[in-house]
Amino acid sequence: MRHTAVLLISCPDQKGLVAAIADFLLRHNANILHADQHQDAELKLFLMRVEWELADFSLDLAEFAAAFGPIAARFGMTWRVAESSRKQRLAVFVSKFDHCLADLLYRYQSGELHCELPIILSNHEDTRWLAEAYRVPYQHLTVHKDAKHEAELTQLGILRDRKIDFIVLARYMQVLSPDFIRHFPSRIINIHHSFLPAFHGAKPYHRAFERGVKLIGATAHYVTETLDDGPIIEQDVARISHRDALDDLVKKGADLEKVVLSRAVKWHLDNRVLVYANKTVVFD
Amino acid sequence: MRHTAVLLISCPDQKGLVAAIADFLLRHNANILHADQHQDAELKLFLMRVEWELADFSLDLAEFAAAFGPIAARFGMTWRVAESSRKQRLAVFVSKFDHCLADLLYRYQSGELHCELPIILSNHEDTRWLAEAYRVPYQHLTVHKDAKHEAELTQLGILRDRKIDFIVLARYMQVLSPDFIRHFPSRIINIHHSFLPAFHGAKPYHRAFERGVKLIGATAHYVTETLDDGPIIEQDVARISHRDALDDLVKKGADLEKVVLSRAVKWHLDNRVLVYANKTVVFD
Amino acid sequence: MRHTAVLLISCPDQKGLVAAIADFLLRHNANILHADQHQDAELKLFLMRVEWELADFSLDLAEFAAAFGPIAARFGMTWRVAESSRKQRLAVFVSKFDHCLADLLYRYQSGELHCELPIILSNHEDTRWLAEAYRVPYQHLTVHKDAKHEAELTQLGILRDRKIDFIVLARYMQVLSPDFIRHFPSRIINIHHSFLPAFHGAKPYHRAFERGVKLIGATAHYVTETLDDGPIIEQDVARISHRDALDDLVKKGADLEKVVLSRAVKWHLDNRVLVYANKTVVFD
Amino acid sequence: MRHTAVLLISCPDQKGLVAAIADFLLRHNANILHADQHQDAELKLFLMRVEWELADFSLDLAEFAAAFGPIAARFGMTWRVAESSRKQRLAVFVSKFDHCLADLLYRYQSGELHCELPIILSNHEDTRWLAEAYRVPYQHLTVHKDAKHEAELTQLGILRDRKIDFIVLARYMQVLSPDFIRHFPSRIINIHHSFLPAFHGAKPYHRAFERGVKLIGATAHYVTETLDDGPIIEQDVARISHRDALDDLVKKGADLEKVVLSRAVKWHLDNRVLVYANKTVVFD
């Protein structure tokens, strides 16, 4: 794996942006590996992702903010820079369904997901065996109906202790409070088992079955305060027919959920996702 | 094209059904080409499609009802029989968007859609040139906002005169009244430019764009009294990205609409679609 | 899970077949759950799958052959009957790549694959940890280049001891001899990492990358004496672009391989696959 | 439609490229609408597409070469600039199958394909009616087996007279000579009715049917001297099953061919396609 840095930028579109960024990187001897930009014509926004090798780069990343600050200020940029060799620290929340967890664990172990996984948090014991098979710490935390707030405080404490960067809800069956979510803006990924906005909320496979749709879907999105309404990162669908009973939808859907969620997590880890206007740009 | 008959059956599931039907066909020397059946376990329904050659069949189809009646009565069947060589008579309703119409006309002319097309009805003049290129009668009928009922009466008169069996709404931008729909139960196919039930109603591409979905869809369904709520015959999706402006969604969607609608129409013409419980079985 | 029997039939197409089978099942009080048939018009073949509940069935399956024999003889049928509650016994062969194995093990453990898994055989030690995590017996058997025959004899002995019904090659990197294959006709499933017949043989991702294809594929097929030429059970593809390096193809392909192989294995276990003319019918 | 220019560049990858290009465009007051670049890590190539508005651009495009020349020379660029408002001039070659032609004509007429279409050339009379319906000139030119060279000379004359920029082979059933092809390097697009490299050459649907594949495909590619071996622009697939006879493959394939070909033509017209190493980059 190459030692690279990624710069993500969003700002009002204006002339000279690309030239200023390219010139800045050139002055510090950056060898650009990928650069991708997007203009939202309607909102007049400029969004960019640049990745370059750090080997020859003449600027220490610790000094990046100071050096890049004037340019960012001139163009009114929102930006962040990430070092690809630094592994983000992920916490997985899970309930009883274990297919997404098993998939994430395998991808984590194989190195496909370039991250640390210091903790799996669950409101059940059911999936502990998987965590143990992959030697990942697992903590069971009962969430009582009338003590959700206390449970969230405990969870937040654990996340702080473990220095967690972002959270994946791998079919976690509890709704998080706005308070909790505010601690991780655009840093909680949920997998919803429908093609959003169709069948948001509870029991999407049941409702898909009743409606007689010919395709089922899955959606990975960032969690916001409104249920199932956050910026969509990835979606996919699978064909079903009248021969598929509800149980078949659940099984076919499980395969969808796994690939959709894992793509979203991977893109997040690769710093490919920019959020704006409750949408995402996924740089490829 | 082979000269065949198709029998479509739905009834409560019970023992002896298949044997009774197979025995009936055998006694009349039917050479079965395709047979497909489906049991809905939840509703305890039996649904079947059988197609056989008429060459050796010893029963005149005109006498089929009399001969098959006792079996149908015994098992409480809803059934219909169709002669494949008899072409159904189709009317297409269209407004200004012409992509679905152009597609249907080409498939009609090439023989892919095995039907008669005695009339295209439109509330605009825009697509007349297409009808003329394919030598299909075209009638322009202005639909005034406050004279919808009168317009529908005129339309119904035309459909009666032309002996129309079923209707395709090829991006027809008027809502039909329940009265009108009752004349063609499960015999009006609409193409909706979204992945239903997402974005039912007006301007689905706009809303898909705003929601930031990663796939757009199209849905062909039978028209019922509730808007965009009828039994779904076919759906498909196409991938989009942040690079696609609203206009790109409309263009990519147009290609989806064409194939989804034409598949639904073809299956309807082949007597492959059975409606039950506001769903469809599409025998393949 | 319901206690059912599945009957698979292939024979020359002829009148009276369905009636004879339906009548036979009715006489023994079978409650048919699914029935699906296919006529190959070109080869004039009839192929059928029937599944019925055993609860009310008046015939002991041990006596099925004797009772059904006369009908089978009359129509020249090739047939087999399977009891769905009897779990087939699977052996998985694997080398170093572990993604397909991990996927199969998870599906086995979750009950999605209704089978026994008494042995994993590998020419390497690399994947033992996975077998152990899922508590499945694992045997390492070095295959020397110039002692393949001996290795196969050992393998066959193990398979016999373990009463293995069928084999899955989960990215097993050794070519099996015709002798070996003859022991398991239409009972060895291989996953090939290309869209066959494109890129059969070695290094398909490399060749796909060099050719500049826009989609990559995976194919599950029964193993025959000709490499990568056996009856195809399932295929699927994934979109790639110029941005995907060879390594990305390998990763995207791994996800394809998993779903394609697992579908094929599931269909095989459900007795849905009939082989004829080096093709498969997959009853759905 | 905005009045824009597109610059396409390929050259050895090196530092300072992006900065030099961005600076050049900024100096001439370009308002960049889209910019996309790709680095081929293996071949160490840099490929780029930039599109900017001409409204404010201070340089006349006629003087672009002179102004940009020094930069191009410094970095060893192969490049071309195109004015989006200038419509390329397309010739369509067709034989008897008319589905791709009908599709292209509709898209041309609707403005989706931004080009001129001064001539359709055919070795048959069958599709003349379509050309006439869309009021496009049509010329019938018999191609005798032993006078192919003469026919090609006549064709080349017509293409020269009509000032043709590029050619689409819309299921044209004649193989073009290397001599002919050299007149239009990377400017002849062919649609092949298989998932290349599978089933290159004659009768791909027949061979797909015989092989028992579960998906069929279509491929749009630039024509080179080796049959069906040119750089692939786009591919797609459709699912088939044992129920599909050869005739169904042909029909399902026709729908694939239409969308795959039209996408390739549209991308070519939008100057999105760069050819290198017998592959394409399609900037999106």
- Residue (of B270, B276, B273) closest to B51 by Cα position: B270
Q: Count of domains in chain D?
A: 2
C77 shares its domain with C94: no
Reduced to 3 states (helix: H, G, I; strand: E, B; else coil), residue C198 is: coil
Which tokens is B227 given? 């808007």
Q: Considering only the beta carbons, identify the residue of D98, D112, D255 that sits closest to B259.
A: D255
- Final residue belonging to a domain, choices D45, D61, D83: D83
Chains in contact with D, counting 3 or more C-beta pairs less than 8 Å apart as contact = A, B, C
- Chain D residues in contact with C232 by the CB 8 A cut-off are 211-214
Spans in chain D with pLDDT lower than 50: none
Q: Considering only the beta carbons, identify the residue of B197, B213, B243 that sits closest to A235.
A: B213
Residue B2 has pLDDT above 80, yes or no: no
Residue of C nearest to B239 (CA): C239
Give the mean pLDDT of A178-183.
Answer: 97
Segment B19-48, tens digit of pLDDT: 999 999 999 999 888 899 999 988 999 999
CA distance A43 to chain C (A): 27
Reduced to 3 states (helix: H, G, I; strand: E, B; else coil), residue C211 is: helix
| Domain region containing C263 | 88-282
Mean pLDDT score of chain B, rounded to an integer? Answer: 96
- Final residue belonging to a domain, choices D19, D52, D83: D83
Residue of D nearest to C246 (CA): D42
Reduced to 3 states (helix: H, G, I; strand: E, B; else coil), residue A11 is: strand
The CATH number of whichever domain residue C211 belongs to comes to 3.40.50.170
CA distance A85 to chain B (A): 27
Contact C282 D243 (CB under 8 A): no
- Chain C residues in contact with D37 by the CB 8 A cut-off are none
Which residue shows structure tokens 């622009």?
D233
CA distance B20 to chain C (A): 8
The ipTM assigned to this model is: 0.96
Evaluate whether A139 touches A123 at the Cβ level (below 8 Å).
no
A186: left (phi over 0), alpha (psi -120 to 50) or beta: left
D249 shares its domain with D213: yes
Residue C1 has pLDDT above 70, yes or no: no
Q: Considering only the beta carbons, identify the residue of C198, C233, C242 that sits closest to D195.
A: C198
Residue of B nearest to C45 (CA): B33
| A204 CA to centre of own chain | 22
D174 shares its domain with D229: yes
| D227 CA to centre of own chain | 16
Q: Confidence band (pLDDT; 50, 70, 90) for C42?
A: confident
Task: Single out the catalytic residue among D98, D165, D228, D270.
Answer: D228
| A254 CA to centre of own chain | 19
Q: Confidence band (pLDDT; 50, 70, 90) for C78?
A: very high
CB pairs under 8 A between C and D: 84
Tell me how many degrees the CA angle B90-B96-B97 measures, rounded to the nearest 5: 80
Residue among B97, B126, B259 with most chain D CBs within 10 A, to mutate: B259
Residue of C nearest to A105 (CA): C102
- Chain A residues in contact with B212 by the CB 8 A cut-off are 231-232, 277-280
- Final residue belonging to a domain, choices B68, B83, B98: B83
D18 shares its domain with D148: no
Q: Considering only the beta carbons, identify the residue of A40, A242, A280 that sits closest to B281.
A: A242
A108 shares its domain with A229: yes
Q: Considering only the beta carbons, identify the residue of D23, D33, D39 that sits closest to A34.
A: D39
A76 shares its domain with A156: no
Distance linking the first and last C-alpha atoms of chain B = 18
CB pairs under 8 A between B and D: 23
Active site residue C244: no
Distance linking the first and last C-alpha atoms of chain A = 18
Per-residue model confidence (pLDDT) at position D2: 77
Contact C26 B35 (CB under 8 A): no
Chains in contact with A, counting 3 or more C-beta pairs less than 8 Å apart as contact = B, C, D
CB pairs under 8 A between A and D: 51
Reduced to 3 states (helix: H, G, I; strand: E, B; else coil), residue B107 is: helix
For residue A17, the one-letter residue type is L
Residue B232 has pLDDT above 80, yes or no: yes
Angle between helix B246-269 and helix B204-211 axes, rounded to 10 deg: 130
For residue C282, the one-letter residue type is V
Q: Considering only the beta carbons, identify the residue of B232, B242, B243 that sits closest to A213.
A: B232
- Chain D residues in contact with A32 by the CB 8 A cut-off are 15, 18, 39
Q: Give Rg (Cα) of chain A.
A: 21
Contact A15 D33 (CB under 8 A): no
Strand ranges of the sheet holding A215-222, from the earlier edge strand across to the other edge: A138-140, A115-122, A88-94, A166-169, A188-192, A215-222, A232-239
Instruction: Give the C-alpha separation, A28 to A62, whole Å.
Output: 14
Contact A39 D36 (CB under 8 A): no
D116 shares its domain with D77: no
A77 shares its domain with A97: no
Per-residue model confidence (pLDDT) at position D1: 64
The CATH number of whichever domain residue D11 belongs to comes to 3.30.70.260
Output the CA–CA distances (angstroms, integers) from residue B39 to B49, C5, C64, D81, in the order listed: 12, 16, 24, 62
Reduced to 3 states (helix: H, G, I; strand: E, B; else coil), residue D154 is: helix
Beta strand C45-53 pairing with B78-83:
unpaired
Per-residue model confidence (pLDDT) at position B203: 97
Other CB atoms within 10 Å distance of the CB of residue A247 = 10
Evaluate whether A35 touches D37 at the Cβ level (below 8 Å).
yes
Q: Considering only the beta carbons, identify the residue of A232, A237, A242 that sits closest to B38.
A: A242
- Chain D residues in contact with C199 by the CB 8 A cut-off are 197
A278: left (phi over 0), alpha (psi -120 to 50) or beta: left
B195 shares its domain with B140: yes
| DSSP codes joined into one string, B129-182 | HHHHHTT--EEE----GGGHHHHHHHHHHHHHHTT--EEEESS--SPPPHHHHH
Instruction: Give the C-alpha separation, D17 to D32, whole Å.
Output: 16
D96 shares its domain with D34: no
- Chain B residues in contact with C25 by the CB 8 A cut-off are 19
Per-residue model confidence (pLDDT) at position B258: 98
Segment D67-88, tens digit of pLDDT: 999 999 999 999 999 999 899 9
Per-residue model confidence (pLDDT) at position B100: 98
Contact C22 B26 (CB under 8 A): no
Per-residue model confidence (pLDDT) at position D42: 87
φ, ψ for residue C6, nearest 5 deg: -120, 130
Residue A265 has pLDDT above 80, yes or no: yes
Which tokens is C148 given? 């393949």
- Chain C residues in contact with B15 by the CB 8 A cut-off are 26, 29-32
Chain A residues with CB-CB distance to C under 8 A?
98-99, 102-103, 106, 110, 112, 133-134, 241, 243, 251, 255, 259, 284
- Residue (of A206, D17, A283, D156) closest to B242 by Cα position: A283
Instruction: Give the C-alpha separation, B62 to B68, whole Å.
Output: 11
Reduced to 3 states (helix: H, G, I; strand: E, B; else coil), residue B75 is: helix
Residue of A nearest to D40 (CA): A33
Residue of C nearest to A263 (CA): C252
Q: Considering only the beta carbons, identify the residue of B232, B243, B280 that sits closest to A38.
A: B243
Percent residues over pLDDT 70 in chain A: 100
Residue of C nearest to D204 (CA): C197
Per-residue model confidence (pLDDT) at position A1: 64
Which tokens is C267 given? 């269909």
Beta strand D4-12 pairing with C279-282:
unpaired
Which tokens is B101 given? 């119409």
C48 shares its domain with C164: no
Residue C62 has pLDDT above 70, yes or no: yes
Contact C18 B16 (CB under 8 A): no
- Chain A residues in contact with C133 by the CB 8 A cut-off are 133-134
For residue D127, the one-letter residue type is T
- Chain B residues in contact with D98 by the CB 8 A cut-off are 110
Cβ-proximal residues to A28 (8 Å cutoff; 6+ apart), any chain: A57, A58, A59, A67
Which tokens is A162 given? 């473990």
- Chain D residues in contact with B260 by the CB 8 A cut-off are none
Chain D residues with CB-CB distance to A under 8 A?
15-16, 18-19, 22-23, 25-26, 29-37, 39, 41, 239
For residue C110, the one-letter residue type is S
Residue C41 has pLDDT above 90, yes or no: no
φ, ψ for residue B252, nearest 5 deg: -65, -35
Per-residue model confidence (pLDDT) at position C64: 97
CA distance D281 to chain B (A): 16
Contact B15 C36 (CB under 8 A): no
Per-residue model confidence (pLDDT) at position B1: 64
- Residue (of B224, B238, B245, B242) closest to B193 by Cα position: B238
Residue of C nearest to A133 (CA): C133
Contact D195 C197 (CB under 8 A): no
A125 shares its domain with A61: no
Task: Single out the catalytic residue among A98, A103, A165, A228.
Answer: A228
Instruction: Give the C-alpha separation, A26 to A62, whole Å.
Output: 18
- Residue (of C118, C113, C140) closest to C129 by Cα position: C140
